[in-house]
Chain A
Amino acid sequence: MKKKVIGLVDGQSGNIGSINKAIKEIIKGRPYQLKIIRGEFDYSLFNKIILPGQGAYATLISNLKKLKIYKPLKTYLDNNCSYLGICVGMQILSDQGHEDRTTKGLGIIAGEIKKFKSKNLIIPHMGWNSISLNKEDPIVTNNLDNKDFYFVHSYIFQNINKSNVLANTHYGKKFPSIVKKGNIYGVQFHPEKSHKYGLNLIKNYILKS
């Protein structure tokens, strides 16, 4: 049987050690292989792509362009191929981000990334917070509703179509913590840092979605 290929993008935006380790644990003994994407790639060779990100929106977009990852990734996503974006890897699915400067995003899920605006709110939103699901989905099976995940961010997905919001989290106000369109997912939190429920989510994405 041909192995399914999972691509893990190293966009030089935070280290990929934890997510790399999590994926390896999950696919051990299963018909999958993991390839790290560090430059231009043939998108047709991948069954799934995971992109973790930390830091600024503009930096990640410019890194992806510099590394020649942006174009094949955009084509991959335009074809509704399976993707999981983590933190900034989720945010860049939007039309644009407003961190540091306004930057055009991948334009896959309509909306924009803006700073938390609420008086007396401690920013960044850092620590464990729960998600509440709007609907069932393969990625959140095994009772992930109301479980805690680790967040660290100052910007959130705004002006997003409700149908693309799979789960919300409350911090000052409600914001999207899991987004989905077709086969494309994004999570605002860090599942690779979120202990067993985080691993469950990554496992669900790889094996069930």
Chain B
Amino acid sequence: MLKTRIIPCLDVIKNKVVKGVNFKNIKVMGNAVEMARYYSLSGADELCMLDINASYQNRKTFIKTVEAIAKVINIPLTVGGGVSVLDDITDLLNAGADKVSINSAAVKNPRLIRQASLKHGSQCIVVAIDGKRHENKMKVVVKGGREITKKELILWAKQVQSLGAGEILMTSMDTDGVQNGFDSSMLKKITSNVSIPVIASGGVGNLEHFYLGHLTKSTGLLAASVFHSGKYKIQSVKKYLKNKGVPVRL
């Protein structure tokens, strides 16, 4: 039976894992390579890392960090942030990423999804979608939720699937960072409208939130703060889910 994946997410600047909202009050949580090694050893099913300040100066160090992480883990690695053209995807895959996630570049230029999946295969192309409710509609947003686009969320999810995305990383900007749980209604809308895997992101604060995330039919559950802060260990989340009857890898 396919197991529900528990995926810690590292927001990275250069080689440090950070926490901070919209570049304000940035707090260093630890060394990215050390944290990645720890999560791989302690039972993470996959690792996600995002370059959250993908400036030209920081990029080289970030790519080096990807290379260093790929060398110390033996679980799949998804890398995103700062991907704007096809070459960025190639660079990250060459650095050791197994999957690359594209976000605003895909919104700007949807053809990038098709080009990337034709070149590297759908299995390594993740489209990250940020969603937010606006005037009673679910919309696609960019720039960390500050810019609301014209795209309808569900239509966009269907479109990225037909363009060849292998997976959707779905973050609700209505619940992200608040730790009140995943956005179940948004996630259910997505999972019932696409047939590719969906990773739920944004809002985990306690154990029950993971279970509720599983009920949305998302096959991957992503979290950051609850793991980085040490509030929960990966294994304790998995044991909790197992007791609830959710298939997990222990």
**Residue ranges of A at the interface with B (Cβ–Cβ < 8 Å):** 14-15, 17-18, 21-22, 54-56, 59, 120-130, 148, 150, 152-154, 170-171, 190, 192-196, 198-199
Contacts and interface: CB of A to CB of B under 8 A. Distances in A.
Interface of A is mostly: mixed
B76 A193 contact: yes
Contacts of A125: 2
Interface residues of B, number: 30
Nearest to A172: B2
Contact of A195 (B1, B40, B196): B40
B177 interface: no
Contacts, number: 89
Contact of B123 (A18, A129, A152, A192): A152
For chain B, what secondary structure do more than half of its interface residues adopt (helix, strand, loop), or is it mixed?
Answer: loop
Contacts of B76: 150, 152, 190, 193
Interface in B88-114: 93-94, 96, 98
Greatest chain B CB density within 10 A among A17, A129, A130 is at A17
Contacts of A148: 3, 249
Interface of B: 1-5, 40, 45-46, 70-71, 74-76, 93-94, 96, 98, 120-124, 166-167, 195-197, 219-220, 249
Given A121-B195, A170-B1, A195-B40, 9 more contacts: A14-B120, A123-B195, A124-B167, A124-B196, A128-B45, A129-B2, A148-B3, A194-B74, A199-B74
A125 B122 CA distance: 12
A56 B121 contact: yes
Nearest to A153: B123
